[in-house]
Structure 1
C-alpha cells in the first residue's frame, strides 16, 4: 500500500471516529468505582482499583484525543453525529465519563476532583439540555429510532450527586438528581412502548437493553449519598434495578448470536452501577446477601470488560473500528 493510500485510510478512520467510543470511558470508570466499592466493603486497600483507574484514564484520554482530532479536522462529521437519532444520545457520555472520573478521584486527589466535577457538571447540564431540546424540537425522530441509549443523558444527571454531595453542592446535586429521575420515567415509558409495540431493534443495538438497569442503580447510590440512609425510596430504586437486570437476563440468549460491535460496551457500565449499588446497600444495612450479590456482579463485570477489551482490540486490528456505518 502506498503512503498516499495509507494517509487516505487514516483520514477516513479519523472522519468516522465514533462518539460511541466514549462508552468505553463509562465502562472503565464504572469498573474502577465497583472495585473501589468492593475494597471498601471488604476492608481492603485500594491497590487494584488505583491500577484500574490509571488504565481507565489512559483509555479515556485516548478516546477523547481521537474525538477531539475529529472535531478539529472534520467538524461536519461531528455535526452529522449530532443529527443522528441514536448517536446524539452518546454525547453526554463525555460528561458522564468526566463525572465518574471526578468521583473516582474524590478520595485520592480531591483538589483535582473538585474543579473537574464542576466542569463536568456544567458540561452535563449543557449537553443534557441540548439533547433533550433536540428531541422535542422539529427534527423528524421516529419511534423506531429510539433505543435504551436515550437513557444516557438522564443517567448523567443522577451521577452528579455521587461527588457533588461530598463537596457540599447539595442543592445542585438535588437539581440534577430530580431532573434525571423525571426524564428517566418519561423515557422509560417511551422506550418500553417502542420495545413492546414496534419492530425489534437492530441486532447491534440489542446490548443497549442493559442500559435499562443503569438509571435506577445509579439513582440508588446517589440517593444514599444525599440522604445517608436507604429509606423506602432507596429500597424501591434498588429493587427496580434488580427487576430490570432480571428482565434483561431473559434476552441474554440473543447476544450469543450477534457479531461484536462497539454497542456491546453498553453492557459494562450498568453491571458496574448495579454492583456499586449492591455494595452500598450492604454497607448501609449490613447485608451479607447484598455483599455477595455485589461481589458476584463484580466478577461478572471483570469478565465482561476483559472480553470487551479483547474483542475491541481484535476489531481495531482488523480495521473494523472507525468505518462508515
Structure 2
C-alpha cells in the first residue's frame, strides 16, 4: 500500500501535465535567439546564447518525454486538452519549438537543423489545419474562450521563413508567411472585438495579452528575410509591434497583481520577438533608437525568464501545476 499511493499520485500528476508546458521551451529558445541577435553589439551574448541553447534543448527533451508518456498512458486526457477551447491553441507550441530550435541550430549544425526544420514545418502545417478546422467545426465556442493565445498557430506559420529562407526554401516560406499573416489579421479583429465589447479576460489567462506583441514582431523578422531588406511593410510591422508593446506596458500594474500560472510564460517569447526584431532593424538601418529598444527588451526578457523559471520550479515543488483545473 505504501508504494501504491505514490505511484497513483505520480500517474495523476502525469495525466494533468499540460501542453502549455511547451510555452516554457518557446520562452527559453526565444531568449537563445535574442542573445544571438545581440552578439554583434555585445560579444558575451554569443557565449550566453550557446549556454541557453543547451538548456533549451534539455527542457524540450524533458517536457517532450513527459508529454509523450502522458499521451501513451492517458490518451483521454490529451484528447480532453485538444477539445479544450483555450488549450487547443497551445498544441502548435510543440512544432513552434522545433522551428525555433532549427533556427538556433542552423549556424552550428546545418544538416541537423534542416531535418528538424522540415519536421517542424510538416507538423506546423498539419496542426494549423487541425486547429483551424477545430475552430470552424460545430463545437460550441463562446466569446469568452477567445484570448490572444489564439494567435499561436499564426505565429508558428510566420516563424517558418526565419530559417526557411537561409535554407533555400523560399516558396514554402512565402506560403506559410502568407497564411500566418492572413489568419493573424482575422484573429486580431476577433480578439480586439472580444477585449473591447465583452467581459475581461480571466486573471489566469490575462498574461496572454503580451502575445499581442509577437505576431507583428516575428512577421517583421520573417518579411525582411523574404524581401531582402527594409520597405514600408517591414516598417509597418515593427512599429505595430511597438504599439502593442506600449499597450501591454500600460497593463503591467494589473499583471503584477495576478497569481502565477503557466500562462505567465506567454510573456517570454513576445519579448524575445520584440528584441530580435529591434536588433534586426538596427542592423539594417543603423539606427541607435532601435538598438536601445532591443537592449531594453533583452534585459527585461532575461529578468522575466529568470523569474518565471524560479517561480515555475517553486510551483512544481508545491504541486501547484500538474493537478486538475
TM range (shorter): over 0.9
What is the deviation of 1:40? 2.8
What is the deviation of 1:44? 5.7
- Per-residue deviation, residues 13-43 of structure 1 (Å, max 9, x unmatched): 0000100000001100000000000003445
User: SS of 2:39's equivalent?
Assistant: helix
Give the corresponding residue for 2:87: 87
Give the corresponding residue for 1:34: 34
State how far apart, in whole Å, the 1-side matches of 2:234 and 2:35 are: 22
Count matched residues.
325
State how far apart, in whole Å, the 1-side matches of 2:146 and 2:290 are: 33
State how far apart, in whole Å, the 2-side matches of 1:251 and 1:42 are: 31
Give the corresponding residue for 1:71: 71
- Per-residue deviation, residues 137-186 of structure 1 (Å, max 9, x unmatched): 11111111101000000000000000000011000000000000000000
State how far apart, in whole Å, the 1-side matches of 2:292 and 2:192 are: 30
Give the corresponding residue for 1:323: 323
User: SS of 1:30's equivalent?
Assistant: helix
The within-5 A match list for 1:142-157 is 142-157=142-157
Give yes or no for contact 1:34–1:275 (8 Å, CA) kept in 2. Answer: yes
What is the deviation of 1:58? 0.5
What is the deviation of 1:201? 1.0
Give the corresponding residue for 1:297: 297
User: SS of 1:190's equivalent?
Assistant: helix
1:200 maps to 2:200 = yes
State how far apart, in whole Å, the 2-side matches of 1:274 and 1:257 are: 24
Give the corresponding residue for 2:129: 129
1:258 maps to 2:258 = yes
Give yes or no for contact 1:15–1:74 (8 Å, CA) kept in 2. Answer: yes
1:48 maps to 2:48 = yes
Give the corresponding residue for 1:277: 277
Give yes or no for contact 1:216–1:241 (8 Å, CA) kept in 2. Answer: yes
- Per-residue deviation, residues 244-287 of structure 1 (Å, max 9, x unmatched): 00001111111121111000000000000000000000000111
What is the deviation of 1:2? 2.5
User: Any unmatched runs of 5+ in structure 2?
Assistant: none
Give the corresponding residue for 2:286: 286
Give the corresponding residue for 1:108: 108
Give the corresponding residue for 2:213: 213
Give yes or no for contact 2:38–2:45 (8 Å, CA) kept in 1. Answer: no
Give yes or no for contact 1:274–1:297 (8 Å, CA) kept in 2. Answer: yes
User: Any unmatched runs of 5+ in structure 1?
Assistant: none
State how far apart, in whole Å, the 2-side matches of 1:95 and 1:230 are: 28
Give yes or no for contact 1:41–1:279 (8 Å, CA) kept in 2. Answer: no
Give yes or no for contact 1:154–1:184 (8 Å, CA) kept in 2. Answer: yes
User: SS of 1:323's equivalent?
Assistant: coil
What is the deviation of 1:288? 1.4
Give the corresponding residue for 1:234: 234
State how far apart, in whole Å, the 2-side matches of 1:62 and 1:40 are: 32
Give yes or no for contact 1:16–1:322 (8 Å, CA) kept in 2. Answer: yes
- Per-residue deviation, residues 287-311 of structure 1 (Å, max 9, x unmatched): 1111111011101000000000000
State how far apart, in whole Å, the 1-side matches of 2:41 and 2:119 are: 30
Query: TM-score, normalised on structure 2?
Result: 0.98
Give the corresponding residue for 1:176: 176
Give yes or no for contact 1:41–1:283 (8 Å, CA) kept in 2. Answer: no
What is the deviation of 1:45? 6.9
Give yes or no for contact 1:158–1:222 (8 Å, CA) kept in 2. Answer: yes
State how far apart, in whole Å, the 1-side matches of 2:45 and 2:25 are: 24
